[in-house]
Amino acid sequence: DTAVSQTPKYLVTQMGNDKSIKCEQNLGHDTMYWYKQDSKKFLKIMFSYNNKELIINETVPNRFSPKSPDKAHLNLHINSLELGDSAVYFCASSRSRLWADTQYFGPGTRLTVL
């Protein structure tokens, strides 16, 4: 069983479109995250949710909107896609928001904006 899963794995789209990436975890964790990995492999936190409540919202354009329908899901919706949004997006989860809790990562979604 996959612990943290993301769909789709690859997403190719045109500038200006709206797209969503879905994330699900079956670990029973309370906290979920979205990270962005750019072309130079640099990873940066975007959002964090704890029990469906937003707790981290880094400097991310408001075209990005996370939504957590329940504890096991954290989706990422992106409006008006731009070339610079091309990246690999990783979902992660942890048991709680405590600093020492391990984060478990999904396989990533490679977004390419043309």
Partner 1 sequence: AQSVTQLGSHVSVSEGALVLLRCNYSSSVPPYLFWYVQYPNQGLQLLLKYTSAATLVKGINGFEAEFKKSETSFHLTKPSAHMSDAAEYFCAVSDVTGANNLFFGTGTRLTVIP
- Note the residues at the interface with partner 1 (CB under 8 A): 4, 31, 33, 40-45, 48, 50, 55-56, 90, 92, 94, 96-108
Q: Which is nearer to partner 1, 15 or 54 (CB)?
A: 54
List strand residue ranges (DSSP E) for the chain, in order. Answer: 4-7, 10-13, 19-25, 31-37, 43-50, 53-57, 64-70, 73-78, 87-94, 104-105, 109-113
Q: Which is nearer to partner 1, 58 or 82 (CB)?
A: 58
User: Tokens representing 55?
Assistant: 């707790």
Residues 93, 27: contact at Cβ < 8 Å?
yes
**Minimal distance in Å, beta carbon 34 to partner 1?**
11
Q: Which is nearer to partner 1, 16 or 50 (CB)?
A: 50
**Minimal distance in Å, beta carbon 59 to partner 1?**
13
Q: Looking up tokens 């969503």, which residue turns up?
A: 20
**Minimal distance in Å, beta carbon 99 to partner 1?**
4
**Minimal distance in Å, beta carbon 16 to partner 1?**
28
Residues 18, 77: contact at Cβ < 8 Å?
yes
Q: Which is nearer to partner 1, 77 or 101 (CB)?
A: 101
In this structure, what DSSP letter does residue 83 have?
A: G
